Structure 1
Amino acid sequence: MNPRLLKEVKSVQTLLGLVILQGVLSGILIIAQASVLALIVSRVFIGHQTLASVQHLLWVLLAIIVARAVLTWLGETGSLALATRVQSSLRMRLTQRLLNAGPLYVHAQKTGELVNTLIQGIEDLEPYLARYVPQIAITALVPTIILVEAFSRDWITGLILLITVPLIPFFMILIGRQAESSTKRQWETLSRLSAHFLDVLQGLTTLKLLGQSAGQARGIERASDEFRRATMASLRIAFVSALVLELLASLSMAMVAVAIGLRVIPGRMPFETAFFLLVLVPDFYLPWRMLGTRFHDGLNGMEAAKRIFEILDAPELAKAGGTMRPAAVDAQPIVLNRVGFQYPGRSEPALQGVSAVVKPGERVAVVGPSGAGKSTLLALLMGFAVPTSGTIALGDTPFTSLDLAWWRQHVMYLTQNPYIFAGTVADNLRMARWDATDAEIRRAAERAGAWEYIAALPQGWQTVLGEGGTGLSGGQKQRLALARAYLKDAPVIFMDEPTANLDPETEAELWGHLEALLTGRTAVVVAHRLSTARRMDVVWAMNHGQLEQVGAPRELERVPGLYRELIQAYAPLPEEGHYASLHRAAETL
């Protein structure tokens, strides 16, 4: 039993109560059916009565059978409704948890494994919730009712049932431990296979160019075969479990039959009672056998539940924040006071002691070598993580008291590789503002320099784009992202060098539109090119998670320090101009 899942089931305890009630009523009807059937057979076989004399009993038996069928249907429906509600709740909470955790948490996980947990893992909970949990209640109640009735009719039969029944859960426990271990390996193998397969699909171009696609195909084949072996091992244990349970139940029923037969033949037990008990005993062991079967059906769900609750219980990098919404965001400075951040599980901090101020309307370039903490700083400013030390504030309001959802509505983020969702061009633009009119969409596209190529598409802005913007060039994707920024019209802009992957001509053209976007707005730009840094008002030079220099670009070029070292690392050759050397400094930053 998974205690966390049982707590989830308690949220739908009304449905669970109805399912348990169905089990109790079914137990009573089982006894009634056996009693009526025994009475009919006894009157016809022993009393030699005609069909007319037992016709009313046959109608009663038919009514009981129909009632059992209706109760079984209601129980199945209620169990499925119970499972669906719990699954829906967990899926929503898991999705919300991943969204709240932000990109820092998600990027640290295996995407394929997360997808497998969110989709297949949630689906695997259905056998556990709809079959196994209700069966536990039925197994506890129905055999108890039958046992009491058996003792009231014949204490010897009742004693045999009482002595033999503990053997079933004992062997279930022994086999169940092996099954749980095997199912854990199966689930882990499936998660690795899902993650590996997604990695192969995403890196297919690179694999083709490196000539490794065939090798990766063989790797997937090996992983698939490992999953097959793990699955067959689980099935083998399940079949052994079913064999053991059937054998124990059969031997127990045989003992009851022998004990009854030895007393019926000499006439020490009435035929009706003996027949009633023989009909009733199989239904005493049936719930136990069903429990064993449904235990194995629900094992995948129990393993998936462990991963689901592991994600739900993971430390939150991005917390919900508070409720404060300061007025005039465009007039508020962003203040960093000795900000430090350390990723869970890492020994070295990503940021330490960063203190600086982004003034309203100021454009800040963040430069530094790889691993300096630039991207982490942006994530903190967007509220995707909370500093482990120090504070970040919007004016006088700490981010911990800020309504982060409201804050992100006032922020726009442009990255090196903007993501284009599967859907129409208009749908992708309306990601920024769902209530935007067609005229506003066109105006934003024109300001971003995107309208010309959008109009040239087969259906214009109603053209359906593939996942990741299939069919669009890098410059077209950036213009589309820029159009989103114009449409959102946020007072604060964060950028991670949106022109890093563009050729110089496209970069120069895009910067013409970016300059217009940044005018009058507060901006923090992670600059991978020195040409980008020189366009900004202020430069923050970072190294090893620390802020080493702050100042205007031209001023920092003339004083010793990190920024000057980055420039001198790519000093211009005699035949080159200074701007050409700055272009070659991109990779250093």
Structure 2
Amino acid sequence: MKPFDPRLLARARAARAYMLLTAGLTVATTACVLATSVLLARSLAPVIDGDATWADVAPAVAAVAGLAVLRAVLAAATERFAHRSATRVIAELRTQVLDHAAALGPRWLARHGSEVRTSLTRGLDDLEPYFVRYLPQLLLAAILTPAVLILMATLDLTAAVTVVALLPVIPVFMWLIGVVTQAFARRRLEESERLGAQLLDLLAGLPTLQAFGRALGPAERVRSLAQASRRSTMATLRVAFASSAVLELFASLIVAAVAVGVGLRLVTGSVSLEAGLAVLILAPEALLPIRQVGAHFHASADGIAAAERAHAVLDTEPPPDGTGHAPATVHAIRWNAVTVGADDRAYAAPSGLTGRAMAGQVTGLTGPNGAGKSTAMLTLVGALTPDEGEVLVEHPDGVTSVAALSPEQWWQQVAWVPQRPVIEPGTVAEYLAVTRPADDPRLAEAASATGWSDVVASLPQGWQTRIGQGGWGLSLGQRQRLALTRALLAPAPVLALDEPTAHLDGLAQEHLIEVLRRAAAAGRVVIVVAHRPELIEACDAVIAVRAGERVS
């Protein structure tokens, strides 16, 4: 675990500004410490020797007080700026990790989703102590401590040599602590990831578990994971408290050694009282940043571990994106021996998928659960790259692989509705990109076909009801009906629907099938994942999807 990760500077613009400003504030703080020590010694020494009165040294004492106030202001400014910078750095890293994880595709997320979720939700938040407490003290240790030692050497070379000789004990011990703390921090993060993944799986399947009376079944597993997380947290705290105590002991011994040496030299007269007082004031200041680095290292260890996970995600190379221009007209979509396997499966799904979906027809993908029908749809939209084979687009200018097309352009040519559509925040009209819902006949037809017209009639503000995050809650069936409505309104030449009739009644299903037929008759490529017999019978062509043997 490195004291400072330079990758943060490369990936977060706020971190670069933070380091520059903190370095400037650290230099100013160092000047305050040195000036305060010298002025305080010059004020006390004449009074102790009887060569001056308090009135004589009052201006110097006032300057010392002013420097103390200035030092407090610099410390407050450093902490305030650190809080703001930490928030911005965390936001930048969170955005980069989220965007990069999405670029890596659903197949990668299926294996590393719990790690990414933990890093995005709570892991990166632990970087705040790292920026607010740890890094400022690390800069102080790098700037203030050498400056204090140089000044001490000009006043009393023996005292400076004593500190330099004993000081390496603290960094060596801190390195040993870091090795131990790294293991504890990683273990704690792994326990948090397992606990978070278990809770998310439990929440996702809670309706099913309740239906079968098994809602309390996973409770023991969640309890054991929580206990493991508690034990790893307490172990980290024990290491932190023990190491802080030992660091304080070593620092006290070094200061005591300097004080004894200065006292003996004052008795023999080999050092002046002013120089001795200045050295005694400077010795704790030289050790304070190093002690604080050790004390705050444990508070920032979780954040550093989370940042390493974030860097691991960002360092993963995404699959190459195509750059070809997406065709405006699509004659057909063809799967050519497409095979997709995953590390968490013992088989490929789909395996050797070959089929052709033509414009002017409703094409159905059929097969048992787990055969890879939804995966075949992901390869069609370009969100997943096949292990073998390719998905081809037939258009007036020839045949192009989906992998060779620009993703942004190709996604504009495909209206895709997954089984669990995501609803963006906004009003219903904004989601459907319709300015005057009441006067749009196409909207009325699409909403009637999907059953959304009945849903919107029950909403408190109709088409202007806010939905999505922070808006009116919609059930899974309502979300799918809304997404189907938007897909039917989209001008995209390819219409890809994953089980579009799963949440529709018989009448709504008949209306939807009729709308799909009209969309196909208008020249669109209509592809549906079909389970219900009525939808399969309505398809003009059917492509059977099958799973295969393990992918090597």
Tell me which residue corresponds to 1:480.
482
Cα shift at 1:472: 5.8
Distance in 1 between residues matched to 2:454 and 2:344, nearest whole Å: 48
CA contact (8 A) 2:362 2:517 kept: no
Residue from 121, 124, 134 that aligns with 1:122: 124
Cα shift at 1:9: 1.7
Cα shift at 1:482: 2.4
Residue from 187, 190, 194 that aligns with 1:188: 190
CA contact (8 A) 1:80 1:130 kept: yes
1:298 aligned counterpart, secondary structure? helix
Tell me which residue corresponds to 1:285.
287
For 2:68, give the aligned amino acid.
I
For 2:60, give the aligned amino acid.
L
For 2:323, give the aligned amino acid.
G
1:399 to 2:402 alignment: yes
Distance in 1 between residues matched to 2:536 and 2:217, nearest whole Å: 43
Distance 1:260 1:467, change over 3 A: closer
Tell me which residue corresponds to 1:341.
340
1:458 to 2:457 alignment: no
Alignment of 1:314-463 (within 5 A): 314=316, 316=318, 319-326=320-327, 328-329=328-329, 331-344=330-343, 348-394=347-393, 395=395, 396-415=399-418, 417-419=419-421, 421=423, 426-427=427-428, 430-433=430-433, 436-439=435-438, 443-449=442-448, 450-463=452-465
Cα shift at 1:488: 2.2
Distance 1:440 1:251, change over 3 A: farther
Distance 1:206 1:453, change over 3 A: closer
Alignment of 1:561-580 (within 5 A): none
Which moves more between the two structures, 303-312 or 209-218? 209-218
Tell me which residue corresponds to 2:36.
33
Distance in 1 between residues matched to 2:383 and 2:17, nearest whole Å: 39
Give per-residue Cα distances to partners, 1:346-396, cap 9 Å, x unaligned.
Answer: 675434554444333332222223343322211111010123333333333
Cα shift at 1:173: 1.5
Distance in 2 between residues matched to 1:458 and 1:367, nearest whole Å: 39
Distance in 2 between residues matched to 1:153 and 1:66, nearest whole Å: 26
Cα shift at 1:277: 0.7
Distance 1:117 1:440, change over 3 A: farther
Give per-residue Cα distances to partners, 1:473-492, cap 9 Å, x unaligned.
Answer: 77644432322123323221
Tell me which residue corresponds to 1:97.
100
2:431 aligned counterpart, secondary structure? coil
CA contact (8 A) 1:445 1:483 kept: no
Which moves more between the two structures, 215-224 or 363-372? 215-224
Tell me which residue corresponds to 1:296.
298
Tell me which residue corresponds to 2:311.
309
For 2:7, give the aligned amino acid.
K
Which moves more between the two structures, 304-313 or 404-413? 304-313
Which moves more between the two structures, 171-180 or 511-520? 511-520
Distance 1:220 1:490, change over 3 A: same
Distance in 2 between residues matched to 1:14 and 1:456, nearest whole Å: 52
Gap runs ≥5 in structure 2:
none
Tell me which residue corresponds to 2:164.
162
Residue from 250, 253, 266 that aligns with 2:252: 250
CA contact (8 A) 1:9 1:86 kept: no
1:412 aligned counterpart, secondary structure? strand
Cα shift at 1:436: 4.1
1:265 aligned counterpart, secondary structure? helix
Which moves more between the two structures, 195-204 or 226-235? 195-204
Give per-residue Cα distances to partners, 1:164-223, cap 9 Å, x unaligned.
Answer: 100001111222222221122211111222222222223223333343334434443333
Tell me which residue corresponds to 2:205.
203
Tell me which residue corresponds to 1:59.
62
2:6 aligned counterpart, secondary structure? helix
Give per-residue Cα distances to partners, 1:246-293, cap 9 Å, x unaligned.
Answer: 000001111111111112134332111111111110001101101101
Tell me which residue corresponds to 2:541.
538
Alignment of 1:229-248 (within 5 A): 229-248=231-250
Tell me which residue corresponds to 2:26.
23
Cα shift at 1:235: 0.8
Cα shift at 1:155: 1.5
For 2:384, give the aligned amino acid.
A
Tell me which residue corresponds to 2:8.
8
1:106 to 2:109 alignment: yes
Distance 1:108 1:534, change over 3 A: farther
CA contact (8 A) 2:446 2:489 kept: no
1:213 aligned counterpart, secondary structure? coil
Cα shift at 1:303: 1.4
Distance in 1 between residues matched to 2:491 and 2:152, nearest whole Å: 78
Distance 1:201 1:467, change over 3 A: farther
CA contact (8 A) 1:340 1:389 kept: yes
CA contact (8 A) 1:441 1:487 kept: no
Give per-residue Cα distances to partners, 1:8-38, cap 9 Å, x unaligned.
Answer: 2245434313322322332232121111001
2:52 aligned counterpart, secondary structure? coil
CA contact (8 A) 2:414 2:496 kept: yes
CA contact (8 A) 2:323 2:405 kept: yes
For 1:8, give the aligned amino acid.
L
For 1:499, give the aligned amino acid.
T
Distance in 1 between residues matched to 2:515 and 2:471, nearest whole Å: 21
Which moves more between the two structures, 265-274 or 474-483? 474-483
CA contact (8 A) 1:182 1:230 kept: yes
Identity of paired residues, percent? 34
CA contact (8 A) 2:425 2:466 kept: yes
CA contact (8 A) 2:134 2:293 kept: yes
Cα shift at 1:96: 1.0
Distance in 2 between residues matched to 1:67 and 1:220, nearest whole Å: 52
CA contact (8 A) 1:100 1:320 kept: no
CA contact (8 A) 1:128 1:301 kept: yes
For 1:430, give the aligned amino acid.
E
Distance in 2 between residues matched to 1:439 and 1:122, nearest whole Å: 46
Distance in 2 between residues matched to 1:542 and 1:452, nearest whole Å: 34
Distance in 2 between residues matched to 1:213 and 1:289, nearest whole Å: 50
CA contact (8 A) 2:94 2:124 kept: yes
Which moves more between the two structures, 160-169 or 395-404? 395-404
For 2:529, give the aligned amino acid.
V
Which moves more between the two structures, 30-39 or 457-466? 457-466
Tell me which residue corresponds to 2:267.
265
Which moves more between the two structures, 523-532 or 257-266? 523-532
Residue from 487, 498, 501 that aligns with 1:499: 501
Give per-residue Cα distances to partners, 1:415-455, cap 9 Å, x unaligned.
Answer: 4x44364867x33x53353x644346785244321224422
For 1:27, give the aligned amino acid.
T
Gap runs ≥5 in structure 1:
547-589
Distance in 1 between residues matched to 2:37 and 2:278, nearest whole Å: 6
Cα shift at 1:518: 4.1
CA contact (8 A) 1:363 1:537 kept: yes
Distance in 1 between residues matched to 2:149 and 2:526, nearest whole Å: 76
For 1:138, give the aligned amino acid.
L
1:145 to 2:151 alignment: no
Distance 1:401 1:208, change over 3 A: closer
Residue from 174, 177, 182 that aligns with 1:175: 177
Which moves more between the two structures, 102-111 or 34-43? 102-111
Cα shift at 1:405: 1.3
